[in-house]
Structure 1
Amino acid sequence: MIQKVKKQNVHELVSEEIQKYIEVKGLQEGDKLPSAEELTKLLGVGRSSLREALRYLEAIDIVKVVNGKGIFVNDSESYRYSGKVKIENEKKFLLHILDVRRALEGKAVELAAIRISNEKIEKMRQCLEEYDVCKNRGLDTSAIDYKFHQHIYDAAANPLLHSVYESISELIKRFFAGPFGVKELFDNTYPFHRTLFDGIAKHDVQHALAEFNKMMDIIEETIRHY
Structure 2
Amino acid sequence: MKPIKRELVHELAARELQSYIMEAGLKAGEKLPPLEELCEMMQVGRSSMREALRYLEALDMIEILNGKGIYVRDVETYRLYAKVKVEDFETMLLHVCEVRRAIEGQCVELAASRATPDNIAEMDYCLDEMKRLKAINGDKSQIDMKFHQTIYKASGNPVLESVIGSMWEMMEHFWQYPFGKADIFEDTYEFHFTLGEAIKNKDAAKARTEFNILMDLIEQGIRNATAQKI
Write out aligned runs for 1:196-215 (5 A).
196-215=195-214
Task: Indicate yes or no: 2:152 matched with 1:153.
Answer: yes
Aligned to 2:64: none
In structure 1, list runs of 5 or more residues that go unmatched.
1-30, 61-88
Aligned to 1:225: 224
Aligned to 2:86: 59
Secondary structure in structure 2 of the residue aligned to 1:184: coil
Change (3 A) 1:54 1:117: closer
Change (3 A) 1:198 1:92: same
State the distance in 1 between where 2:106 and 2:181 align. 27
Q: For 1:85-140, what per-residue CA distance to the aligned partner results, in whole angstroms no more than 9, with x for missing partners?
A: xxxx2111111111111111001101101111122112211111111101111000
Deviation at 1:212, TM superposition (A): 0.3
Is contact 2:185-2:217 (8 Å) kept? Answer: no
Letter of the 1:59 counterpart:
V
Q: For 1:60-101, what per-residue CA distance to the aligned partner results, in whole angstroms no more than 9, with x for missing partners?
A: 1xxxxxxxxxxxxxxxxxxxxxxxxxxxx2111111111111
Change (3 A) 1:225 1:115: same
Change (3 A) 1:53 1:152: closer
Is contact 1:113-1:201 (8 Å) kept? Answer: yes
Aligned to 1:127: 126
Q: For 1:142-164, what per-residue CA distance to the aligned partner results, in whole angstroms no more than 9, with x for missing partners?
A: 00000000000010011111111
Letter of the 2:86 counterpart:
A
Is contact 1:59-1:96 (8 Å) kept? Answer: no
State the distance in 2 between where 1:215 and 1:201 align. 17
Letter of the 1:90 counterpart:
F
State the distance in 2 between where 1:200 and 1:54 align. 32
Higher helix proportion (structure 1 or 2): 1
Aligned to 1:69: none
State the distance in 2 between where 1:167 and 1:189 align. 25
Task: Indicate yes or no: 2:104 matched with 1:105.
Answer: yes
Aligned to 1:182: 181
Deviates more, 1:212-221 or 1:184-193: 184-193
Secondary structure in structure 1 of the residue aligned to 2:185: helix
State the distance in 2 between where 1:171 and 1:184 align. 19
Instruction: Using structure 1 for the length normalisation, give the TM-score.
Output: 0.64
Is contact 2:90-2:222 (8 Å) kept? Answer: yes
Change (3 A) 1:123 1:91: same
Compare CA radii of gyration and give the structure with the larger one. Answer: 1
Secondary structure in structure 2 of the residue aligned to 1:59: coil
Instruction: Using structure 2 for the length normalisation, give the TM-score.
Output: 0.63
Is contact 1:195-1:211 (8 Å) kept? Answer: yes
Secondary structure in structure 2 of the residue aligned to 1:92: helix
Please provide the CA RMSD for this pair: 2.6
In structure 2, list runs of 5 or more residues that go unmatched.
16-80, 226-230
Change (3 A) 1:32 1:91: closer
Is contact 2:107-2:155 (8 Å) kept? Answer: yes
Is contact 1:59-1:92 (8 Å) kept? Answer: yes
Change (3 A) 1:59 1:47: farther
Task: Indicate yes or no: 2:191 matched with 1:192.
Answer: yes
